[in-house]
Amino acid sequence: DLQRQLESKDKTARKKGLRHYSPPESTRSYIESNYWRRTRSDAGGDLIRVNEFWLDFARCPEGQPFVSRHFILATGNLSEMLLALADLDLPFKAAEHAVKVSGKRLDLTAGSPLLLMREELSEAGTSTDTDPLLISQRFYRLDDPYVYNGNERRDKYVTGEFLVGTGYGSRIVLTNPTSATRKLEVLYQIPRGALPIRKGAWTRSINIELDGYGTMTAEFFFYFPAEGQFEYYPARANHDGGVVARAEGASMTVVRKLSTVDETSWNYVSQNADGPTTLKHLDTHNIRRLDLTRIAWRMRDRSFFDQTLKLLRERHAYDEKLWSYAFLHHDADGARQYLENQDGFLASCGAYLDSPLVAIDPVERLSYQHVDYAPLFNPRAHPFGRRREILNDDFKQQFARLVSILAHRPALSDSDRMSLTCYYLLQDRIEEALGSFARIDPEKLETRIQYDYLRAYLDFFSTDHALARGIA
């Protein structure tokens, strides 16, 4: 028994002793990221979206402290939150604030800049909406469905005439104002004189279960091929063969030319206004809400083409169809910008290209990025046979991508040789790494620190390490 106890204690002591070897972790890929844990391809212009907070930041006068009551909107991702915190002129440590309560009144005296959130109850005004309908049916143009009041979007319903040859939609909204689930049959059809579009039907009946206090929406689409006066059968909801609710029916007037036109709408301006009026509309309205292809027919005019592209560039907007007219007008800058946005075409042009109209840089186009691997072990200190093999599949593919890109270049840049040197070292190809590094001009690199790291590391393969000590 004593012997077993001694052996057990000895094993325990050995386990607690210093371990002289620990197995390496699995090889991991490391990629430089400008934003927190995001690859370059995942850090485009839509990473941080435009909202009221960033608009306030852009409008803040230079030299004045910045604060915005819309800060709560800058929470799309960690990068946006960090940028917002960096831009807000708030102290890292808040001073003590003085709070005084007197009855229903609360006074707060700020000891330092702060953001204050408050919630209050107030008496609501009387609603002017007395419409008791449980079912409604409205019509809208497919090419002009909304109207905007600032950043608030509202539906733009047709209340007057309908236009021949124009696509329309009908939106039916059914609301259950009770707590009980309702089993209903909803029947609707397109107006007389109209034809269905978007794979629609002349008449449709659907069975639904509408939850208590629930709402259901249905839509169908049509157009009128000829003018005239037409009736339409309004949507209705039935239960057990009886009508529960119906929308209001009316007569629809269809014309070839509207008697009253909204001359401020983009549909009208783009097709009927003169050039200066159209450009003014582009300059004073939200470009993202406009269908720019509607002015493509105007782009044959060189003067209008030049003014439009200048305005859109200033507003950071791009439209493929408008820019394609650069070839018609022999505009090299416009053609170059058009080609830069043709990913499918450029993908067929090889890994690298440098021409007067288009330059393909795989790093800029996010098709290639430098990847580091650690820990990475090669199976032999010395090569076996004439062919060198890379056993890590990811690194093997990455090195092949780099070699393919370099093979398309007329000459290697100093940055290319930096990448090549790193990947030679990962393969323990020391002589090739030293030869590649010796041809690098550090003055032609964008940054020096990576060069100094490599220089110090490669010095360990020399007999004198004074260089590495000096850099360190």
6-56 tens-digit pLDDT: 677 777 766 666 666 677 888 898 888 878 878 777 777 788 888 899 999
388 or 414, which is more confident: 414
The whole-number pLDDT of residue 331 equals: 95
- Ramachandran angles phi, psi of 375, nearest 5°: -75, 145
Mean pLDDT of 195-222: 90
pLDDT band of residue 244 (cuts 50, 70, 90) is: confident
pLDDT of 130 higher than 50: no
The first and second tokens of residue 181, run together, are 């689930």
The confidence score (pLDDT) of residue 19 equals 64
Contact present, 325 and 298 (Cβ < 8 Å): no
Q: Which tens digits make up the pLDDT trace of 79-128?
A: 999 999 999 999 988 899 999 998 888 899 999 888 888 766 555 444 34
d(CA 123, CA 129): 18
Q: Tell me what the mean pLDDT of segment 364-376 comes to.
A: 87
**Is it the case that residue 131 has pLDDT exceeding 60?**
no
Q: State residue 129's pLDDT score.
A: 36
Q: Which amino acid is at 361?
A: D
- Top-confidence residue, 285 or 125: 285
Helix axes 430-438, 414-426, angle to 10 degrees: 170
pLDDT at residue 227 is higher than 50: yes
- pLDDT band (50, 70, 90) for residue 338: very high
Q: What's the rounded Cα separation, in Å, for the pair 214 and 176?
A: 5
pLDDT bin (cut points 50, 70, 90) of residue 310 is very high
Determine which helix (DSSP H) or strand (DSSP E) holds 408, and give its type and residue range: helix 393-408
- In SS3 terms, 22-64 reads as CCCCCCEEEECCCCCCCCHHHCCCCCCCCCHHHHHHHHCCCCC
Question: Chain-centre distance of CA 198, in angstroms?
Answer: 28
Q: Which residue has the higher pLDDT, 419 or 352?
A: 419
Q: What is the pLDDT of residue 126?
A: 42
More confident residue, 122 or 175: 175
Does residue 425 carry a pLDDT above 50?
yes
Q: Which of 72-86, 354-368, 396-410 has the lowest mean pLDDT?
A: 354-368
Beta bridge partners of 373: 29
Q: Which one has a higher pLDDT value, 336 or 22?
A: 336
* Least confident stretch, 35-49, 183-197, 253-267, 380-394: 380-394
- Return the SS3 of 196: strand
- Coil, helix or strand at residue 428: coil
Among 13-27, 123-137, 415-429, top mean pLDDT goes to 415-429
Hey, what amino acid is at 94? A
| pLDDT at site 9 | 73
| Predicted TM-score (pTM) of this structure | 0.62
Examine the pLDDT at 226 and tell me if it is beyond 50: yes
Structure tokens at 158: 């047709």
Q: Contact, 350 vs 366, CB < 8 A? A: no
Q: Is the pLDDT of residue 217 over 50?
A: yes
SS3 track for 229-274: EEECCCCEEEECCEEEEECCCCEEEEECCCCCCCCCCHHHHHHHCC
pLDDT in tens, 372-396: 998 888 876 566 666 778 888 999 9
Higher pLDDT, 224 or 182: 224
